[in-house]
Structure 1
Amino acid sequence: MNPNVQTFKRVFWAFKPCIDGLEHCRPILSIDGTHLYGKFKGTILTAMSIDANNQIFPVAFAIVEASKNTELVGLKFNVDLISALVERWRPETHSFHLTVGEATLTLQDVQVLLGLKIKGDIVSGTTAYNWRFGLPEDANENVLHQYVRAYFLILMTTIMFPDKSGNDIQVVYLPLLRDLTNLDNYSWGSVVLATLYRNLCRASNVKSRDIGGPLILLQLWAWERISIGRPTLMGPVNATHHGPNPLGSQHQIRIDSLGRRWLSVNRKRPEGITTLIGYRDAFDTMLHHQFIWQPYTQQILSFLPGFCYDDSTIGQ
C-alpha cells in the first residue's frame, strides 16, 4: 500500500441546502440504508425528515463498510456457510442437495432449536426496531402489555421474520398482538419455517444478491447437523444436580431451547475453512460421517424444557 495515499473506512456529509432546510421540517428523523454492489462495496445510509408538504427531505448521508458477519442476539452469522447452503437449495424439493443425500429443515428443528410452538392456529391476517428499553418498576398492567407487545415485535424483526433491512416488519402480524392471552394459541414455528423456505427459494435465484428471513434458524440447523466448519463450544460444562450438562456453559437445563448453547462458541474453525470457496469444496467432498441425520437424541431432549419436544410427532 502506498504510504502517501490516504484511505478511509467511512465518511459522513450533509449539503448546506439540506442543513438550511432542516429547520423547516417536522421534528422526525428516519434512517434507511442500501448495499453497494458496484466497484466499491459498502453500505450507503441516508437520514431523512418530512417537510411541510409531507414529502421526504434528505438531511445527511454516510457510506460505511459492509459487515461480513452479521451479529444477531449474540450470534454472529457465518455468511460463507449460509451462502454455500443457499447454492445447494432446490426450490423444487425444498431441500439441500448434498453428496450424502437430500436434507431439509423440519418443524422439529424449529421447536427444538428455537422453542417455538408448532401446533396451534394458523398465523394469518390482512394485508422499527432499533432501540432497547427497560420496564419501569411501577408499571401498571397497561404499560406491561405495551412492553410485551414491543418485545414481541423485537423477536419478530430479529429472529422470527427479519427481512433484508433488518428493521421492518409486515403489518400482517400486528393484529395478532391485540390479545396477548391468545398468542400461545398460534403455530409460530410453522410460519417461521415457511418464511425461511420462501427466502431460500428467492435467494437461490441467480439474480438474487441477498437473503432475508430467519437465518439464525438455518445456521443453528447447520451447526447441529453438519460437522464441516462447526465451531466448538466455549467455557466449562455446567454441573448441576442433574449431572454435567453436555450442552455447554450458555445453556440452562430445562429452561433454554437447544439453540442457546451456540451463543458462546470458539470462532476459530477447526478445518481452517474461512471462505465461500472453502465451504464449496468441503461440501463437494462431504462424507457420511460429516452429516448427522438424527441429532436430537433422547439424552439431549432430557435437558430441554417440555415445549421443545411436545407434539414431537408433528415435527418429524
Structure 2
Amino acid sequence: MALAVQFDEYGDIDVLEVRDVPAPRPGRGEVLVRVEAAGINPGENAIRLGALHELFPASFPSGQGSDLAGRIEEVGPEVPTWSVGDEVIGWVDTRASHAELVVVPAEHLVRRDPVVPWEVGGALFVAGTTAHAAVEAVGAGPGDTVVVAGAAGGVGSLAVQLARRAGATVIGLASESNHDWLADHGVIGVAYGDGVAERIRAAAPGGVDAFIDTFGDGYVDLALGLGVATDRVDTVIDFAAAARTGVRTAGNAESARAEVLDDLAKLVAAGELDVPVAATFPLTEVRAAYRQLMLRRTRGKIVLLP
C-alpha cells in the first residue's frame, strides 16, 4: 500500500483526500518511482474545480499531479535505459504524481544530477516547459524588450530567466517585494496595478517587442495596448482573451519533451537557472499547500514532499 492524493468529485480544496491505495506496478516500457518531491500547479486546481472539464475531464476517483522527482524502485519489461536506484526527474500524464509511488513511462524521465535539490527537480517539469514554450513562442532574442506578467510566480520566474538567456531585455511585472530578486537575475522590476502601462513605457522608452502573460486578469489587452503584435504575445492562462484577440497560447504542451526537461535540468545543475521554491509541505498537508498556492502571492513553486 502507498499514500496518494485523490478526489471523488469536482469541488474546492476540501475534496482532496490522502488515501492508502494499492501500490501500482509498472507495465511494459514503464518504471515505478518512489516520489521524493512533486510540484503543484494552478492548472491542477482548475481541473479539480471542474473548470477544464471539456478539455480534461476527470474520472473518479481521480488522482492529481504531473511533476515529480524520485528514485526508481522497480523496472518494467522492455526498459533498457533505467535501473533500480536511479535518481530521476520527470512527469506523468495520468494525474498521479501526488503520491508516494507512481508509474512513469520510461521516456518521461531524465537523470537527476545530485546537485539539483529534490524539491527543485520535483517542481521543474510543468513550470519549466511552460516557460520554455512561452519564450519560444514570442521569439525573444537579442535587441528585444520582453515584458513578463507574473514575473515572480512559478512560470514567470523561469520565463524571465530564459528570456534573458535568449538575449532580450526583460521587464518583470511583480510586487515590489520581488524586485530585488528580479534585479539579481538581470530583470527590470515594475510594479503591477493602476498605472502599470505608464510604468512599463517609462522602463522601455523604445517600446515593447513581446509580452508573456502568466497571470491573466487583463494582461493580454495591456500587451496589445502597448503596441505588441498579436503573434508576439503569449498567454499561458487567459484562453478567453486569446480566443478574442488571436494572441498565442503556447505552454506546457508545446514543450512537453524529455529533451527540453533535460536541458532545463542541466541549466539548474550548472547554476544557470534558478528555480525558487516558496514552500514545501508533506503530502498529508496537500490542502494547505493548495490554499497557499491559490493566494497567488508566492515567489516560485510550492512542492509536496511525500
Q: What's the TM-score, normalizing by structure 1?
A: 0.26
Q: Greater Rg, structure 1 or structure 2? A: 1
Q: Decide which structure has greater strand share.
A: 2
Q: What's the TM-score, normalizing by structure 2?
A: 0.26
